[in-house]
Structure 1
Amino acid sequence: MTNAVISASAIDLHGISRAAFDLIVAAELTSEAWYSKHLSGPTWPGEQSGVTGGVGYDFGTQTRAQILADWSGKIPDVMVKALAKCAGIRGQAAASLARKLRGVVDIPWDVAREVFSNHDIPRYLAICRRLLPGFDELSPDCKGVILSIAFNRDACGFNKPGPRWTEMRQIKAAIGSGEFAKIPGLIRSMKRLWPDSRGLRLRRDDEAALFEHGLATSHPQEHAKLATTPAPVDPDVVAHVQARLRELGYYDVGQVDGEQSPQGRTEGMVLAYRNARGLPLTPAIDDQLIAELGKPQAPRQVAETRAAATVEDLRDEGSQTIALTDRAKGWAGKIFGGSSGLGTAGALAWVTDRATQVSAAKEAVGGLGLTPGAVQAIAIGVAALVVVAGVGVLVWFVADTLEQRRLADYRAGKHA
């Protein structure tokens, strides 16, 4: 094993600030004294976490090869081998494994920081660069904050659907558009997710404050906008409004994801609902809107022309779904020699006809006086052609099912 002890000045920050590095280490480990007493052995943070050690290193989310690459030569081999067995194990199984490894694994403070500096930071920076267009335009403080969030929450959250990940998706959008002033408010908004975890709420506040410091030192124009940038709407409230609008027949509100994009589908349906109920025409989600949504009311009626729509109507409107099913049916028709208007009865007749043709072909070949092997080879070839054509029938039926489902949704008022 090599000597992994490093001094504070020897830490490679890889482009983030020392303040960001210290923030993450403090949030994950508190202090060297606390770490040495309580966290140098394997722990289990809870829920779907894996066995965790060092600076928040979740062995359950890593592969065995990655664990060996990160820890070999830094702690005794027996410890590395024990930790490698934690790869892919999460949840309650990880909790049991963490208890078994106490007394077997002990990671010194300096080794924990060295692995974080030379392995975790470069890996997460690479992930952030891949997932977040514009990431390298951020200052070292701001980069470090985004890395802290990715490290703590799961970098994939920048792309995950649903209200739980709304702020992370919006942070990604703000980085891409250069609207950095929006980001501190979004970081603080995440505190809603941990009402019972004071430590995580404090971490989000510290991250937001450091991001603002990064704006002041490196992005003064964005820093000047902080005072006039409105706080983001609570994603849980947005999700509630989206779900209620869908209940009332405003299906074009889109997914219940807790996100209200400017001039997006949610804003459009809020305006439509406000117009129908005689409320002020603003896309804002306020107390008046929420109170109105809470009143007993019947879903809005679907227009008669829409309720009686046909596939041809959707085709004329340029429906992408219908265009896709048309292409699939056309391809399937070429495969089995039918047309895009095959129909169930036609498909059954086609299958019967092909079976009769195969039987007749076998009888005709048998009368040619060929060897049994040649007859078998020809029969296999004919059967293969039938199988390929059968795939065409299957594709046609799948496309037809999608087409009918899309039509039913449209008639019910779902989707534009």
Structure 2
Amino acid sequence: MDPISTKALQLILDAEGLNQPGKWPGGNSGVTIGIGYDLGFTTVDNFESDWENDLSSSQLQRLKDAIGLTGIKARNKAALLTDIKVKRAGSERIFKERTIPQVQFITEKAFPGIDALPPDAQGALVSLVYNRGASMVDKPGQDNRKEMRAIRDAVAAHDLQKIADQLRSMKRLWIGKGLDGLINRREAEAKLVESSIQTS
């Protein structure tokens, strides 16, 4: 897989902002720090390895207690962490050197054939996986991952427009739920894919 494109990197940075542990992002998120580093979906080993040079030992210990918590449990934990602040410089370094390569690897496994797509289209899907994870399995009684499966098929077929269309279709999951940031992010990803059609 190509190094993530400049446009895709900026899209993720703009969408994620700088998260502080005391402000829970909502939805099914965990306590989130730095550039979208979600403690609900990492491991203790990865967290310690990534952040040991940027947080004190006491901060690391307190944040470790949030690993694996999502939704309401994460919201309640975040309320106890408002005094911990992460810095942008360290957060961006971890984002670029540690997190993005990991997410690129996961994205490549989730969408076989992605390496044949233009770099901006690859990057849009890295943004998607960074935000939603790579699961293709619906929650019980829901169809919340059907677009992920359709994108997987579209990547294999090298159908860039279908990828963009499915990113837009995904917005249905957040309409009316006060999560406009996710709706805007899917649109930005779709546009980034479409911008690469002319260069493919």
Q: 1:47 to 1:200 in 2, by over 3 A?
A: closer
Aligned counterpart, 2:186: 204
Structure 1 unaligned blocks of 5 or more: 1-13, 30-34, 220-416
1:17: Cα distance to partner?
Answer: 0.7
Matched to 1:151, the amino acid is Y
* Aligned-pair identity (%): 34
After TM superposition, what 4+ stretches of structure 1 lie above 3 angstroms from structure 2? 39-42
Listed as ranges, the matches of 1:316-327 within 5 Å are none
Counterparts of 2:110 and 2:182, CA distance in 1: 23
Counterparts of 1:40 and 1:80, CA distance in 2: 14
Aligned counterpart, 1:66: 46
Counterparts of 2:156 and 2:34, CA distance in 1: 32
Matched to 2:66, the amino acid is C
1:75 aligns with 2:55: yes
1:126: Cα distance to partner?
Answer: 0.8
The higher radius of gyration belongs to 1
In the superposition, the TM-score normalised over structure 1's length comes to 0.45
Counterparts of 1:182 and 1:93, CA distance in 2: 37
Q: 1:17 to 1:133 in 2, by over 3 A?
A: same
Aligned counterpart, 1:28: 16
Check the 8 A contact 2:117/2:158 in 1, yes or no: no
Q: 1:201 to 1:89 in 2, by over 3 A?
A: closer
Deviation string, structure 1 residues 89-115 (Cα, Å, up to 9, x no partner) = 222222121111111x21111211111
Check the 8 A contact 2:164/2:191 in 1, yes or no: yes
Counterparts of 2:51 and 2:110, CA distance in 1: 26
In the superposition, the TM-score normalised over structure 2's length comes to 0.90
The RMSD of aligned alpha carbons is 1.6
Question: As a proportion of its length, which structure holds more helix?
Answer: 1
Listed as ranges, the matches of 1:4-403 within 5 Å are 15-29=3-17, 35=18, 39-103=19-83, 105-156=84-135, 159-161=136-138, 162-196=142-176, 197-217=179-199, 219=200
Counterparts of 1:209 and 1:111, CA distance in 2: 30
Deviation string, structure 1 residues 97-155 (Cα, Å, up to 9, x no partner) = 1111111x211112111111111111111111122110111222111100111111121
Counterparts of 2:31 and 2:21, CA distance in 1: 10
Matched to 1:25, the amino acid is L
Check the 8 A contact 2:20/2:32 in 1, yes or no: no
Aligned counterpart, 1:338: none
1:163: Cα distance to partner?
Answer: 2.1
Q: Which has the higher contact order (CA 8 A, sep 6+)?
A: 2
Counterparts of 1:88 and 1:165, CA distance in 2: 21
Counterparts of 1:114 and 1:79, CA distance in 2: 19
Q: 1:42 to 1:117 in 2, by over 3 A?
A: farther
Counterparts of 1:56 and 1:142, CA distance in 2: 20
Deviation string, structure 1 residues 215-273 (Cα, Å, up to 9, x no partner) = 222x1xxxxxxxxxxxxxxxxxxxxxxxxxxxxxxxxxxxxxxxxxxxxxxxxxxxxxx
Aligned counterpart, 1:9: none
Counterparts of 1:22 and 1:173, CA distance in 2: 27
1:46: Cα distance to partner?
Answer: 2.3
